[in-house]
Amino acid sequence: MSAMHNPPHPGAIIKEDVLGFKNLSVTEAARQLGISRVTLSRLLNGKTGVSVDMALRLSQWLGTTPELWLRMQDACDLWQAGKTKRPKVKPLQSREAAVILKD
């Protein structure tokens, strides 16, 4: 699987493709989702990510799957984390890993 370059935050997709397309206000969308306007605003502006609870709400609201929203959030999080310099980690020896993963 090839790495995606700067995947969009799920909130940006909702902001542009859902609220923009349906001409919904943040207040109305938040009401329909059963969350506060502040909570939705933080998601739309990339200040917070999609939680499991939010993924379930979005999937019911938009007729998608919760996994779709969680995968989008994971892709965004992994890309962001990949930009950060990380210390080297010594790999676990393959025999040890095989025993651990087998159980």
Please list the pLDDT of the chain residue by residue as tens digits (103 residues).
455 589 999 999 999 999 999 999 999 999 999 999 999 999 999 999 999 999 999 999 999 999 999 999 999 999 999 988 989 988 887 766 666 666 5
Q: Which domain holds residue 49?
A: 10-102
> Is 4 inside a domain boundary?
no
> Is 57 inside a domain boundary?
yes
> Is 3 inside a domain boundary?
no
pTM for the complete prediction? 0.81
> Is 75 inside a domain boundary?
yes
Q: How many domains does the chain have?
A: 1
List the CATH number of the domain containing 82: 1.10.260.40
> Is 25 inside a domain boundary?
yes
C-alpha distance from residue 91 to each of 5, 15, 78, 95 (Å): 26, 41, 20, 11
